[in-house]
Amino acid sequence: MESSSSRASSSHSSNDSEFYAAEIAAQAAAAAAQIQSMAFASTDNISLMRPVSLRSTKTARTNASKRSIVPAVPAIPAAFKSNAKLPETSVAIDSAPKEEVDEDLADRDDENINTEKSALSQMTLQRQVLTLSAMAMSVFIGSLDQTIVASSMPAIADQFNAQTSVSWIATGFLLASTAMQPLYGRLSDIFGRIETLMVGLVIFLVGSAVAGAATSIGMLIGGRVVQGLGASALVSLVMVIISDITIERERGKITSIFSAIWAASSVLGPVLGGLFTESRGGWPWVFYFSLPVGAVAGVFIAVFLRLPRPRGSFREKLRRVDFIGMFVLVSGIVMALLALSFGGADYAWSSPTVVCLLVFGIALVGVFVVIEWKIPAEPIMPLRLFRSRNVGLMLVMQLFVGAVIFGPTFYIPFYFSIVHNRSAIAAGLHLLPYILPISIFSTISGFVVAKTGRYRELLWLGGCITTAGAGLLALLNESTSTGKSIGLILVGGAGMGLILQPMLLALQTAIQPRDMATGTTLFVAIRTLGGSIGLAVFQTVQQNKLATLVAELTRQYPQYEKLIARAVDNQATIRASDVPPELTQALIGAYVVALRSVFYASIPFAAMIIVLGLCTRYIPLRTRMAKIVED
């Protein structure tokens, strides 16, 4: 907006002066009206109030001058109060009217707006380090426990004689964490970010203690379910808090580091689990390990992190919770995930158990949508989120990303274990060429976005590289050398690393500030859901192809029919002493072909990332923070 203060030329006429004075007065009146409407806005936003910036007005002046913005400094809504004496906090400006978020944000140009300090930058360096370290530890233990039990489950199954139910150690955690993850954003709007994060951390640590002290398989599974209920808050709410205290343009540098921690902890999980299981303390330390780390994180968060909190008593906040919507959504997600877990493993996909779970799960999600549309005054998941094109595109893209990232994470160790006869720990280490590029290129993409302000191009580039990487995995076979396998694997990891941060930023730029927490936690949850769907598809593809190949082997070696059936049920017996060498090679070849079908099946999932990225609208990243004064 050109202001009269920037026009110092004495040649301006009195009519010009009157025009600019009227222009500023009209815009000031508009700002005052918007501030007044903000005072009556919903109280569901904690630290991200809807701030104001004045739209620049283009005039046909020939003497160009520097544009200036008349900043509006709104008062903090009465619904909030600080839980401690806070410095001025800052949130990113949203210059779009409520009903025209996408269109106006897409046309917004804030390149020349001076950058205000974010809440994070106003902290001392020591406080920044301790705060970010605490949140990093929360993300680390929350994501670590998704995979740390993989290499300890055989020892647990032997101790409790529970070979048939040991898989529920992982499944129970996955069900609980995925079902609760979309809810924590809205709960943090009602009860406060720090309070909700601390409750989630305490639940997680209680679950860790119960699992470590388990004296039966049932107690252990129960502890893992409690762990999952808390773990879902650790990862998602940290991302929400980062969005509260950083500017969009600079946010990628911070979130990329946390994404790298998430990726690294996922591959470190099986390695640490194996080390703890083989140590003197045994498998209980797989769960006890999180207790001291989580305790330190909790102390640091309580002492050093300060955010505004909602006003009102606990009873008043409880009345705002959409319990009906929460129950229906959690029930629907659990049923759908159970169907995906049972299908092709414990039951056939056409079995009544799987079909009923899938049908009722999807039906309950549909009921949830109707409930959120019609019933609660403050829905747990506002449907207005899905009016934005970019929000819908990024949530759908996250489904495909979850499938593409979970597929190699599961099948690369499987390939090295079956084809190259690696131990569980060694097979897990072969994930490093996939995970490390994700961490490295995720960090690089964050700094590139901070420098250039562009993110769509990274989505396109990352999607192309990820698709190529999915195809290259199909080249793995029984004669592939270690060096060649590393080269084939790292391509997909590099592409995935370029995608993760731009996706989150594309989502957050299109979300109204009051919906930031709900949108971010939903985004994180959908990745796990997409991974579950992808693994179900890949498992079906593998089993169908393997069944065809095994039938051919049975016809070729009818005298070894029982050995072949045993090897399919337990892959560890493929190299048993009573299995002839030629049959061993034939079985390994069958698994290579079946795995190749899985990697081919992942290519369409990766290609959809490119398609959705091309449809994404560019919305400039905000480079200015609006001040929020203390109440």
- The region, left, alpha or beta by phi > 0 then psi within -120 to 50, assigned to residue 94 is beta
Taking alpha carbons only, the member of 441, 389, 390, 405 closest to residue 605 is: 405
616 residue type, one letter: T
The answer to which of 59-63, 272-276, 538-542, 617-621 has the lowest mean pLDDT is 59-63
The answer to which of 28-42, 143-157, 293-307, 447-461 has the lowest mean pLDDT is 28-42
Q: Which residues have a Cβ under 8 Å from the Cβ of 509 and sit 6 or more positions away?
A: 105, 248, 390, 619, 620, 621, 622
64 residue type, one letter: A
Cα dihedral 490/495/501/502 (nearest 10)? 170
| Cα radius of gyration rounded to whole Å, the chain | 27
Per-residue pLDDT averaged across 471-478, rounded? Answer: 92
Q: Which residues have a Cβ under 8 Å from the Cβ of 182 and sit 6 or more positions away?
A: 329, 380, 381, 518, 521, 522, 525
The answer to which of 169-173, 286-290, 357-361, 489-493 has the lowest mean pLDDT is 169-173
Q: Residue 544 pLDDT > 80, yes or no?
A: yes
Distance CA 554, CA 558 (A): 5
Q: Residue 461 pLDDT > 90, yes or no?
A: yes
Q: Which residues have a Cβ under 8 Å from the Cβ of 223 and sit 6 or more positions away?
A: 207, 208, 209, 210, 211, 212, 214, 287
Q: Read off the tokens for 473.
A: 């995995």
The helix/strand/coil state of 373 is: helix
How many helices, marked H, and strands, marked E, lie in the chain?
A: 21, 4
Q: Is residue 445 a contact partner of residue 256, using CB atoms and an 8 Å limit? A: yes
Q: Name the residue with higher pLDDT: 560 or 444.
A: 444
Q: Residue 410 pLDDT > 70, yes or no?
A: yes
Q: Name the residue with higher pLDDT: 539 or 198.
A: 198
Q: Residue 459 pLDDT > 90, yes or no?
A: yes
Most confident of 10-14, 165-169, 282-286: 282-286
**Token pair 């899938």 in the structure block, residue:** 358
Q: Which residues have a Cβ under 8 Å from the Cβ of 47 and sit 6 or more positions away?
A: 80, 89, 91, 193, 244, 245, 307, 308, 628
Most confident of 247-251, 403-407, 465-469: 465-469
pLDDT band at 117 (very low <50, low <70, confident <90, very high): low
Q: How many CB atoms lie within 10 A of CB 567?
A: 24
Distance CA 564, CA 570 (A): 10
**Token pair 């599974």 in the structure block, residue:** 221
Q: Read off the tokens for 368.
A: 């949830």
Query: For the whole model, what pTM was predicted?
Result: 0.72
**Token pair 């009016």 in the structure block, residue:** 387
Distance CA 327, CA 334 (A): 11
Q: Is residue 229 a contact partner of residue 203, using CB atoms and an 8 Å limit? A: yes
Q: Residue 92 pLDDT > 70, yes or no?
A: no
Q: How far are the Cα atoms of 394, 524, 531 from residue 527, in angstroms, in the given order?
A: 11, 6, 6
Per-residue pLDDT averaged across 510-536, rounded? Answer: 85
What residues are paired with 343 via a beta bridge? 347
Q: Read off the tokens for 567.
A: 């090897």
Count of residues in the chain: 631
315 residue type, one letter: R
Angle between helices 482-509 and 389-419 (to 10 degrees): 160
Determine whether 559 is exposed, middle or buried from the number of CB atoms within 10 Å of its CB (0-12, 13-18, 19+).
exposed
Taking alpha carbons only, the member of 57, 62, 63, 66 closest to residue 23 is: 57
What local confidence, expressed as pLDDT, does residue 294 receive?
92
Q: Which residues have a Cβ under 8 Å from the Cβ of 615 and sit 6 or more positions away?
A: 389, 393
Cα dihedral 198/199/204/205 (nearest 10)? 70
What local confidence, expressed as pLDDT, does residue 39 receive?
36
Q: Read off the tokens for 143.
A: 């994501």
Q: Is residue 50 a contact partner of residue 94, using CB atoms and an 8 Å limit? A: yes
Computed over every residue of the chain, the mean pLDDT equals 77
Q: Name the residue with higher pLDDT: 288 or 13.
A: 288
Per-residue pLDDT averaged across 63-84, rounded? Answer: 39
Q: How far are the Cα atoms of 105, 182, 345, 522, 631 from residue 309, in angstroms, in the given order?
A: 28, 20, 46, 22, 11
What local confidence, expressed as pLDDT, does residue 555 receive?
87
Q: Name the residue with higher pLDDT: 76 or 309.
A: 309
Q: How many CB atoms lie within 10 A of CB 14?
A: 7
The helix/strand/coil state of 478 is: coil
What local confidence, expressed as pLDDT, does residue 488 receive?
93
- Phi, psi (degrees; rounded to nearest 5) at 90: -130, 145
Instruction: State the Cα angle at 316 between 310 and 322, rounded to 5°.
Output: 90
Per-residue pLDDT averaged across 39-61, rounded? Answer: 36
Q: Read off the tokens for 289.
A: 């390990």
Question: Within its chain, how far is the Cα of 61 from the centroid?
Answer: 48
Q: Residue 41 pLDDT > 80, yes or no?
A: no
Give alpha helix (H) positions in 101-247: 101-107, 125-147, 153-160, 168-191, 193-212, 217-245
User: Which H or E run includes 339?
Assistant: helix 323-342
The answer to which of 123-127, 365-369, 606-610 has the lowest mean pLDDT is 123-127
